[in-house]
Amino acid sequence: MKNNNYRHMKVLIYIFLGLAVGLLIFNLFHVDFEEPLDGESFAAVVGVGASLCAIILLTILKIALKIKDKLKG
């Protein structure tokens, strides 16, 4: 049962990573690089930052699960 939950978690991590990368690309197209902190571009910059944070945290979680799996056997 634990191995099955691990597979589900692994799939969810990849789904969330895909969503985060998709949102990162979407928000990058909406950033006005001449004035990135004005108007709607500011929301896109915040979205880029949030996407990068999500990607970093999900990568850390994936690495932690690999380490946990190797330590158990």
Q: Residues 8-48: pLDDT tens digits?
A: 889 999 999 999 999 999 999 999 888 888 888 999 999 99
Q: Give me the residue spans of the domains in the chain.
A: 2-72
The total number of residues shown for the chain amounts to: 73
CA angle, 62 then 66 then 72, to 5°: 145
User: Per-residue confidence at 73, pLDDT binned at 50, 70, 90?
Assistant: low
- Return the pLDDT at 7: 83
Mean pLDDT along residues 57-71: 92
pLDDT at 71 over 60: yes
For residue 59, what pLDDT is reported?
96
CA-to-CA separations, 45 to 5, 14, 20, 35, 69, in angstroms, rounded: 35, 24, 14, 11, 36
3-state helix, strand, coil in the chain (%, to 5): 85, 0, 15
